[in-house]
Structure 1
């Protein structure tokens, strides 16, 4: 298990242990984290699991592929350097303490 911190739009922090190998989106859904809609179920076919990665973690994550980058364009208020889709972030041991900020809404 890896500890992931989900920061809700109102600033509330939810610390959750997420199984290694699953996605950050699956961790949110399994733990009833509000704001992660995940309409496509993790197929990278929507942007409803969009988050802003905490600045301290940006360089520790793999670069988003072209498909994810395309989908991020449809997210609500994307930020080029911080926006990611949680369905594309696989949980690893070295992501212990990862912090993601959930936007006010999802498109």
Structure 2
């Protein structure tokens, strides 16, 4: 049996660089890849996306622009998606 572990710092940085740079986020917003987005006017400042299965839910992307952190945007995005996953998807557990 394989043990769960923390991903290496290098791997984490590579994933962040690929998935969370502004151009990639903007492209994914245009293609509808996210469940919810947070806007400041027309600027996308946060996104969250997830899916729901049989009694479970998964968050596959969660990003808030560094200039907009600690303003409650992250909490509101998470709360909104979680509520949708529970009410509409019947989720009893959530994976991030």
Greater per-residue helix proportion: 2
Greater per-residue strand proportion: 2
Structure having the higher Rg: 2
Query: Which of structures 1 and 2 has the larger relative contact order (alpha carbons within 8 angstroms, sep 6+)?
Result: 1
TM-score between the two structures when normalised by the length of structure 2: 0.30
TM-score between the two structures when normalised by the length of structure 1: 0.28
